[in-house]
Each structure stands twice: as structure tokens, then as C-alpha cells.
Amino acid sequence: MTVSSAGGDSSESIASLAELAPLEAVLFDIDGTLCDSDPLHYHAFRENLQEIGFNGGIPITEEFFAENISGKHNEDIAVFLFPDDVPRGRQFMEDKEAMFLKLASEQLTAVSGLYKMKKWIEDRGLKRAAVTNAPRPNAELMISILGLSDFFEALVVGSECEHAKPHPEPYLKALDLLKASKEHTIIFEDSVSGIKAGVAAGVATIGIMTRNPEHQLMEEKPTFLIKSYDDPKLWAALEALEKTV
């Protein structure tokens, strides 16, 4: 299976998925892929960092968040934010996650078209797993809020692997748990590190432009990019895939 590096050409996008037939499994990231959670993470980081006087008390920008934090593993974020005091960084991340859990329980919403995609997968009996760098309590809460607890057959958490994303191990572990072939699987991802992990695993990875800049996602060579699960490009590609079975 050849993964196309083109993100914008619909004909190439359709052809690239057709090669996956018969489709066996669909793997999803969680943050920004199942739900539009980045604004909640950004708010929690911004408020907590400002409170402790990070960067002289100047609030972090959305650009700073997208480039340095979004999609990354908590341990790596702790080291990045507090390179001279990693224990403090870990405590900060715990405090930040507590704020995020509160915000998520009140404000979390699904990415547009998610439940249409869910039904398509269920109707075809495809295997499915969630693969995330989020802490397990966060991941389970988000999945529960979205009503997907019974949908996923497996949940792979980066901190429970030897390597988190952008390493391919979490996605390879999900394939192993599902007993699915990487040549017949699709990954949905929204972050640079997530797309990098999916591509490195040798799986067709569709980037979803929830919040992260298109040019940054394209640098990681996803199969193609979509705006949401309602994107006509996605459904044209899935229709073509089915016709090749």
C-alpha cells in the first residue's frame, strides 16, 4: 500500500484509500479528533501558567500552544515547560489535568460528523480502537462524555507504552490488540505528533484540521486532510474503497 503525500487533491485522496480494501479497522486519536478539546486544554494551560508567573506572567498564545504543547505527551510537556525543575513540571501537569477534567465535563463537544462516521463503522462491523497521549482518566472521561464507551474495543494510552506518540508504538500496539493488518486500517489524527506516529506505523493516516495549521499537518505527509467527518472528500474516498472490495 502506497500512502499518498498529497493532501489537497481529491482524486489522489480517493485512490489512496481504495488500496486499503477490504478495510478491517479504524483507529482514532481522541483530543481534537473525536472531540474539539484543544480550546479547553489551551484555557487550562494558559490560566495555570499565568497563575504561577510562567514567562513573566504573560499569557501563552494559541500559536505557542499549537507548536509546543498540542498532541504531545504530558511528560514531554513537563520537561519542555520546566526543564530545570521537572518534578515541578509534573505537578503542574497534574493541576492542569484537574482543571481540564472539570472543563471537559461541562463543555466537551464532538467533532462534526463523528456520529455519522461511527454508524458507518458499526454498520460494517469494523474493528476500532482509540489511541491517545492523554492520561487514561482523561481519555476514559472524554470517551464516556461522547457516548463511545461501548464503541471502542480497545484504548491504548501512550504513557502505558514504552514510547508515546510521535513514536509509532501506540498505533502498532492497537493493531496487535485488534489483530488487524496495517495495510487494511485507517487512522484519524489531528496533531503533528499523531500524524507522524501513524505514518511511521505504516498506516494510512487521515489528518483532521480541527485546530492545527494545515501546513504543519501536511509536513508529516498524511494520506490526505479533511475539515471534519462531514467532509465530502472523506465520503467519496470511503465510497470508492467499498467499490473495490
Please give the positions annotated as active site: 29, 31
Question: Greatest CA separation found in the chain?
Answer: 59
Using the 8-state DSSP alphabet, how is residue 110 labeled?
B
Nearest to 92 by CA among 121, 124, 52: 52
DSSP string, 126-179: -EEEEEESS-HHHHHHHHHHTT-TTT-SEEEEGGGSSS-TTSSHHHHHHHHHHT
Q: Which grid coordinates belong to 127?
A: 474493528
Nearest to 124 by CA among 173, 176, 184: 184
Rg of the chain over all Cα atoms, to the nearest angstrom: 18
